[in-house]
Amino acid sequence: MADLRTNFVGIRSPNPFWLASAPPTDKEYNVRRAFEAGWGGVVWKTLGEDPPVVNVSSRYGSLDYNGTRMIGLNNIELISDRPLATNIAEIKSVKRDYPDRAVVVSLMVPCVEESWKAILPIVEETGADGIELNFGCPHGMSERNMGAAVGQVPEYVEMVTRWCKQNTRMPVIVKLTPNITNILMPARAALRGGADAVSLINTVQSVIGVDLDLMAPMPVVDGQGTHGGYCGPAVKPIALRMIGDIARDPELARLPISGIGGIGSWRDAAEFLAMGATTLQVCTAAMHYGFRIVEDMTDGLSAWMDQKGYATIADVTGRAVERFVPWNRLNMKFKTIAKIDQDACIKCGLCHIACEDTSHQAIARSKVDGERHYEVIDEECVGCNLCAHVCPVDECITMQPQPVDGVLTWPEHPSNPARVTVGS
């Protein structure tokens, strides 16, 4: 049995699955249910200064696709809308009853040192394991010069992180916003400020859709809409890339990462770990199905690790990072070719039309004994994988790597006008 226990900057949890700071961690009631269901930890819904914020009614928008609900979710909620004292009392009570679980408190107060100095001891007193600085909220709070408004300015990230490190003994995790061109900038700033770890991603700025009757962006609040923060399965690729960027950066290599963004299954989790995460945070998947989803996440991850011979989470963390390289390091001599398993093919024609209309005209369509027949023209196939992606039958189109004769990268490629010639 794989050992799923994690030690993340000194914060221990029985498994790497934490609930991200969001509605699932808004109250003692939810968090107790989450721990009963098996979650390894929580990042409490972001606390701010009193008086608490006020939320609007009509808060979430969903991106549905071909009958699948919520492949993306966006929200226009703010941070916790309950008094600080209420949250603090509940955090204390939960942590006392679940000492083995990670309880991290997310914070967002105005960008002045006094505000941070004031709140940190109050949080520390709860017995919480650490704090997460919410520099990510892309809506509402940023208009008040908090959240993403801080996260988008590396100097502020560094400054606030330093204030926190100077005023608490608790580990400081900096939660990064993806609404920035280069994620390395705020990550390096966090490190300079003394951050113990980073977590990412927070939500992506978005308009989830337009209500065509009301002619207003969704979710609609009394006839109007505003931009919100986007999360769920659709943002996973954005998160993986940003995590990988940090994990492979030589300066940041030792900065622990809590991976967030679209994690819904053990497989997603394994991918985040492979790209450099040590713990995993989940929000949308829990909001979609409830806390019970953690069961298959732990189960599936453990089974997969056993099968692959990974004994601990640390064995998986970062496994794929050395193979995450800049484009210029890819071997241009590599070639892969699509192959159709004729016995599995159901003759839907999708591979043909995709390649014919939008790729390389490499799938021939014919009739053999009156039956539709689709065949890859090897010489024309550039190995783009499109056909394999559109084919509705699993394993019907497979990409066949061809024998490789050496390595040739773009910087050395004869077609590259700026190529580096050996010896010159």
Partner 1 sequence: MPQGPDIAPGRLTDVELALNFSDAHPPLTHAQAVVEADRCFYCYDAPCIEACPTGIDIPRFIRAIATDNMAGSARIILESNILGGSCARVCPTEILCEQKCVHNTREEGQPIRIGMLQRHATDWQMDHGGQPFTRAAPTGQRIAIVGAGPAGLACAHRLAMHGHDVVIHDRHALAGGLNEYGVAAYKLADDFAQREVDFLLSIGGITFEGGKVLGRNMTVASLRREYDAVFLAVGLAGVRSLGIEGEDLDGVMNAVDFIEGLRSANRQTVPVGRRVVVIGGGNTAVDAAVQARRLGAEDVTLVYRRGAENMSATPVEREWAQTNGVTVRLWAAPVRLVARDGVLDGIEFARGRIGPDGRPAYDPDDTFVVAADMVLKAVGQTFMPDPLNGESIAISGGRIMVDATGQTTMQGVYAGGDCTPGEDLTVAAVRDGRDAAEAIHAAYMAAGR
Catalytic residue ranges: 137
Stretch of 10-18, 159-167, 263-271, 343-351 contacting partner 1, by CB under 8 A: 343-351
78, 141, 174, 350: which one binds ligand SF4 (CB under 6 A): 350
CA distance 321 to 270: 13
Q: Is residue 283 near ligand FMN by the rule CB under 6 A? A: yes
Tokens of 135: 């520099």
User: In terms of CB distance, is 141 or 362 closer to ligand SF4?
Assistant: 362
365, 373, 413, 419: which one binds partner 1 (CB under 8 A): 365
Tokens of 27: 């109250």
375, 345 in Cβ contact below 8 A? no
Q: Is residue 227 near ligand SF4 by the rule CB under 6 A? A: no
DSSP track, 252-303: TTTS-EEEESS--SHHHHHHHHHTT-SEEEESHHHHHH-GGGHHHHHHHHHH
Q: Is residue 396 near ligand FMN by the rule CB under 6 A? A: no
134, 147 in Cβ contact below 8 A? yes
User: In terms of CB distance, is 59 or 333 closer to ligand SF4?
Assistant: 333
151, 141 in Cβ contact below 8 A? no
Closest CA to 154 of 119, 120, 105, 191: 191
Burial of 7 (0-12, 13-18, 19+ CB in 10 A): middle
37, 348, 353, 364: which one binds ligand SF4 (CB under 6 A): 348
- Residue carrying the six token digits 């200064």: 49
Total residues at interface with ligand SF4 (CB under 6 A): 28
56, 85, 346, 420: which one binds ligand SF4 (CB under 6 A): 346
SS3 73: strand
CA 329 to chain centre: 25
Q: Which of residues 72-131 bind ligand FMN (CB under 6 A)?
A: 73, 75, 77, 79, 106
198 binds, among partner 1, ligand SF4, ligand FMN, none (CB under 5 to 8 A by kind): none
30, 87, 115, 134: which one binds ligand FMN (CB under 6 A): 134
- Residue carrying the six token digits 């959240």: 147
Q: Which of residues 366-405 bind ligand SF4 (CB under 6 A)?
A: 374, 376, 381-387, 390-391, 393, 396-397
Closest CA to 229 of 215, 212, 243, 208: 208
Half-sphere exposure of 221 (CA within 13 A, CB side): 13
CB of 73 to ligand FMN, least distance (A): 6
360, 375, 412, 413: which one binds ligand SF4 (CB under 6 A): 360
Q: Which residues contact ligand SF4 (rule: CB under 6 A)?
A: 338, 340, 345-351, 355, 359-360, 362-363, 374, 376, 381-387, 390-391, 393, 396-397
Q: Which residues contact ligand FMN (rule: CB under 6 A)?
A: 20-23, 45-46, 73, 75, 77, 79, 106, 134, 136-137, 175, 202-203, 231-232, 235, 260-263, 282-285
Q: Which residues contact partner 1 (rule: CB under 8 A)?
A: 66-67, 346-350, 352-353, 365, 372, 392-393
